[in-house]
Each structure stands twice: as C-alpha cells, then as structure tokens.
C-alpha cells in the first residue's frame, strides 16, 4: 500500500490539509477525501470538463492534476462560487435561463464561465463557445448555456 503524503493547500478561501496517495488525482482528493462532491467525474481522462476547478487562476480538469501537486496552491471549486449573501450572478443566470437539465456538467460549466467572465467581461457568442469547448453537455445542446453566460455578463456589467 503506498504511503500517504501530507498536502497543505487553500480551497475556496480556507486553508486545508489532507493525506493522499501519490497516485490520487485532485478530483479524487476533493470528492473522496474532502467530501467536496460538487466537482463531478464524467470521464477521468480530461475530455469532458465535468471536474473543472480553478487552480491558481487557471481552469483545469481536476482529474488530470495529482492531489500532491496542489501543495501551497489556491483552488476554487463549485462549492466556493456562491457567497453567504446568495448565488453568484452566473449561477442565477443558469437558473433563469434554464441552462441545465440533468445538472451533472453544470458545476464545471459554472467554474469555467466564471473564469471566462473574469478574463473577458463582455465576451461574444463565439468567445463563449470557444471558452466552453472543453466542457461537454449532452442535454442542452449548449444554446441556453451560452445565453446564460451572455446574460450573466450583462448582469455583472450592470452592477
């Protein structure tokens, strides 16, 4: 049995420590060790985007990052997107635009959309489609997701 490694990192603004095997992905550490199950597994090989998290300001597939690599990093997962005051405008826009059906891809899309709007506050439809090309949704055909992100951009700009 491999020896476990101690990892200290920051998740959703809080300092976190955990023990993991070197072979465990960040996705496994989040879900199985830390019970942060909002980050979803769809393929475990970096092709669906359901496990998207923000790592030091970049969106990554957490199934392609090892838990031990996150020492001293900052991670934002879907659980860290809403504030105590309420939903993030992107989350609200997903609800109002019916941009989810089964909802399994939704956490990944919201984390990716948040990174997009932080980088480009007023993206075109084409830019949204480009940024979300790493996230698969099988239910919606993407139409309402793209509209939700446009709507959220408008709401955030108005504030």
# binding residues, another protein (CB under 8 A)? 60
Examine residue 19 and tell whether it contacts another protein (CB under 8 A): no
Rounded to a whole number of angstroms, the minimum distance from the CB of residue 159 to another protein is 19
Examine residue 15 and tell whether it contacts another protein (CB under 8 A): no
Token couple for 29: 């550490």
3-state helix/strand/coil string of the chain = CCCCEEEEEEECCEEEEEEECCCCEHHHHHHHHCCCCCCCCCCCCCCCCCCEEEECCEEEEHHHCEHHHHCCCEEECHHHCCECCECCHHHHHHHHCCCCCCCCCHHHHHHHHHHHHHHCCCCCHHHHHHHHHHCCCCCCCCHHHHHHHHHHHHHHHHC
Among 71, 118, 121, 130, binds another protein (CB under 8 A): 130
Examine residue 142 and tell whether it contacts another protein (CB under 8 A): yes
Examine residue 41 and tell whether it contacts another protein (CB under 8 A): yes
Among 16, 82, 115, 156, binds another protein (CB under 8 A): 82
Examine residue 157 and tell whether it contacts another protein (CB under 8 A): no
Examine residue 115 and tell whether it contacts another protein (CB under 8 A): no
Give the footprint of another protein on this chain (CB under 8 A).
Answer: 1, 21, 23-24, 31, 35-45, 47-48, 50, 77-79, 81-82, 87, 91, 94-98, 100-107, 110, 125, 128-130, 132-147
């Amino acid at each position: 049995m491999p020896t476990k490694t101690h990892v200290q990192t920051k998740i959703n603004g809080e300092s976190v420590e955990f023990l993991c095997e070197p072979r465990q992905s960040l996705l496994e550490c989040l879900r199985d060790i830390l019970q942060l199950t909002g980050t979803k597994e769809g393929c475990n090989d970096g092709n669906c985007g359901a496990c998207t998290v923000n790592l030091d300001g970049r969106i990554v597939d957490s199934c392609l990052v090892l838990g031990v690599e996150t020492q001293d990093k900052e991670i934002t997962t879907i659980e860290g997107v809403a504030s105590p005051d309420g939903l993030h405008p992107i989350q609200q826009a997903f609800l109002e635009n019916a941009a989810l059906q089964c909802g399994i891809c939704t956490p990944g899309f919201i984390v990716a959309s948040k990174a997009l709007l932080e980088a480009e506050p007023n993206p075109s439809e084409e830019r949204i489609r480009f940024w979300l090309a790493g996230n698969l949704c099988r239910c919606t055909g993407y139409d309402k997701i793209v509209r939700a992100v446009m709507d959220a951009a408008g709401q955030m700009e108005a504030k």
